[in-house]
């Protein structure tokens, strides 16, 4: 192994250790991290010691587990402040929240999934909130599905046939069922979730595209499932699509070129059409499940 290759591998391991904190519990021990990354505990321990010395992680003396440290928080905050996607979205998100009354979220596409960049919490006493910066898979929840539907075909198929974790009993883990749902999302331009990522939540989301026509994020409206009814979706979906299109325009999308991810190579024609049309069926969003107050998340 050359010195350059060894250095690249070491850097990748450090990055992987940091990224493991973007999903799962807020604190983790050496053994769990080593198991999840398929690394030796000695390697993980050395990496954590180095990161702790720089404030990127810190040790909780009560349980001898590590959490992200202040330096990681500062780095994340700087990235969020300077995110072009977030900057282009803030006033649109606030306006949409004020209009619909439910929590509105902004999601960014990242390697191996997606993360929430921002949210404007709903105006109801019982509302949904999301964990900013935590990584989630693309196949569960409306924000993930509406991005997955517009990824390049090869990448989309890799994810559809990969490891589809079942987060709730409604998560789509059958590849054929997921493909059919994604085709419908691409055709109409928005996705609907009825408890697919969070059992008590429902949501409607639409994709955001950049100058090159690549999907880079999504916005969603989410709330307790008992409020996200079929009538709600029919009323809200065009507004969500229109808001996503406005943000896409600010990101440089003209809407005139073919989208790399849509079936048949066509750009988000369904998204453009849905902005001036009406929403379709929700597939049972209005199920009467119990709702968790203020500490839920997108469906």
State residue 84's pLDDT score: 84
Same domain, 67 and 94: no
Same domain, 184 and 151: yes
Q: What is the largest CA-CA distance in the chain?
A: 62
Q: Is residue 286 part of a domain?
A: no
The last residue of a domain, from among 74, 99, 130:
74
Q: Where are the beta strands (DSSP E) in the chain?
A: 57-60, 65-68, 103-110, 113-120, 135-136, 191-194, 201-209, 215-224
The more confident residue out of 247 and 25 is: 247
Same domain, 144 and 10: no
Query: Apex CA 243: angle with CA 212 and CA 265, to 5°?
Result: 35
Same domain, 167 and 210: yes
Same domain, 196 and 260: yes
Confirm if 149 and 185 have CB atoms less than 8 A apart.
yes
The C-alpha atoms of residue 291 and residue 201 are separated, in whole angstroms, by 8
Q: Is residue 248 part of a domain?
A: yes
- Rounded to 10°, the helix 3-19/41-53 angle is 80
Q: Is residue 179 part of a domain?
A: yes
Question: Is residue 142's pLDDT more than 50?
Answer: yes
Q: Is 262 helix (H, G, I), strand (E, B) or coil?
A: coil
Q: What CA–CA distances, in Å, run from 114 to 55, 90, 136, 217, 239?
A: 25, 18, 5, 8, 22
State residue 238's pLDDT score: 96
The C-alpha atoms of residue 29 and residue 120 are separated, in whole angstroms, by 33
CATH number for position 98: 3.30.450.40
The more confident residue out of 232 and 290 is: 232
State residue 264's pLDDT score: 33
The C-alpha atoms of residue 148 and residue 179 are separated, in whole angstroms, by 10
- Rounded to 10°, the helix 230-250/84-100 angle is 150
Closest CA to 103 of 90, 117, 116, 121: 121
Same domain, 52 and 114: no
Confirm if 273 and 175 have CB atoms less than 8 A apart.
no
Same domain, 242 and 125: yes
Q: Is residue 297 part of a domain?
A: no
The more confident residue out of 1 and 169 is: 169
CATH number for position 47: 1.10.10.10
The last residue of a domain, from among 41, 74, 107:
74
For range 174-200, the mean pLDDT: 93
State residue 73's pLDDT score: 76
Question: Is residue 287's pLDDT more than 80?
Answer: no
pTM of the model: 0.68
For range 135-146, the mean pLDDT: 93
Q: Is residue 285 part of a domain?
A: no
State residue 131's pLDDT score: 87
Per-residue pLDDT of 87-137, as tens digits, reads: 899 999 999 999 999 999 999 998 889 999 999 999 999 999 988 888 899
Same domain, 110 and 245: yes
Q: What CA–CA distances, in Å, run from 215 to 227, 245, 263?
A: 29, 12, 14
The last residue of a domain, from among 26, 57, 74:
74
Same domain, 135 and 159: yes
Q: Is residue 266 part of a domain?
A: yes
Backbone angles phi, psi at 59, to 5 degrees: -90, 130
Which of 15-19, 70-74, 158-162, 224-228 is least confident?
Answer: 70-74
Tell me the average pLDDT of the chain: 82
Closest CA to 102 of 13, 223, 3, 230: 223
Give the domain range for residue 68: 3-74
Confirm if 209 and 275 have CB atoms less than 8 A apart.
no
Q: Is residue 280 part of a domain?
A: no
Same domain, 123 and 258: yes
Burial track 57-89 (b if 16+ CB lie within 10 A, e otherwise): bbbeeeeebbebbeebeeeeeeebeebebbebb
Tell me how many domains the chain contains.
Answer: 2
Q: Is residue 100 part of a domain?
A: yes
- Rounded to 10°, the helix 30-37/41-53 angle is 120
For range 203-227, the mean pLDDT: 94
The C-alpha atoms of residue 122 and residue 131 are separated, in whole angstroms, by 15
Same domain, 107 and 148: yes
Question: Is residue 217's pLDDT more than 70?
Answer: yes
Confirm if 139 and 178 have CB atoms less than 8 A apart.
yes
Same domain, 259 and 218: yes
State residue 6's pLDDT score: 61
Backbone angles phi, psi at 118, to 5 degrees: -160, 165
- Rounded to 10°, the helix 30-37/3-19 angle is 120
């Amino acid at each position: 192994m050359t010195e350059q290759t060894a250095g690249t591998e070491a850097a990748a391991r450090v990055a992987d250790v940091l990224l493991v904190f973007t999903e799962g519990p807020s604190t983790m021990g050496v053994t769990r991290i080593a198991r999840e990354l398929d690394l030796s505990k000695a390697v993980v321990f050395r990496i954590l010691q180095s990161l702790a010395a720089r404030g990127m992680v810190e040790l909780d003396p009560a349980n001898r587990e590590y959490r992200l440290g202040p330096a990681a928080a500062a780095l994340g905050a700087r990235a969020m402040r300077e995110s072009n996607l977030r900057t282009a979205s803030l006033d649109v998100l606030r306006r949409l929240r004020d209009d619909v009354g439910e929590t509105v979220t902004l999601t960014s596409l990242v390697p191996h999934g997606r993360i929430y960049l921002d949210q404007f919490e709903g105006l109801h006493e019982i509302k949904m909130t999301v964990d900013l910066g935590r990584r989630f898979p693309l196949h569960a929840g409306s924000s993930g599905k509406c991005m997955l539907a517009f990824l390049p075909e090869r990448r989309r198929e890799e994810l559809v046939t990969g490891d589809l974790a079942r987060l709730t009993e409604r998560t789509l883990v059958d590849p054929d069922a997921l493909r059919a749902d994604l085709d419908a999302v691409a055709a109409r331009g928005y996705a609907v979730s009825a408890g697919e990522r969070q059992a008590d939540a429902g949501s409607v989301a639409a994709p955001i595209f950049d100058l090159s026509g690549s999907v880079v994020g999504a916005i969603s409206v989410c709330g307790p499932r008992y409020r996200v009814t079929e009538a709600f979706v029919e009323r809200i979906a065009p507004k969500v699509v229109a808001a996503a299109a406005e943000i896409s325009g600010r990101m440089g999308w003209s809407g005139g070129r073919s989208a790399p991810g849509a079936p048949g190579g066509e750009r988000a024609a369904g998204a453009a059409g849905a902005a001036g049309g009406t929403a379709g069926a929700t597939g049972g969003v209005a199920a009467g499940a119990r709702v968790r107050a203020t500490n839920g998340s997108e469906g």
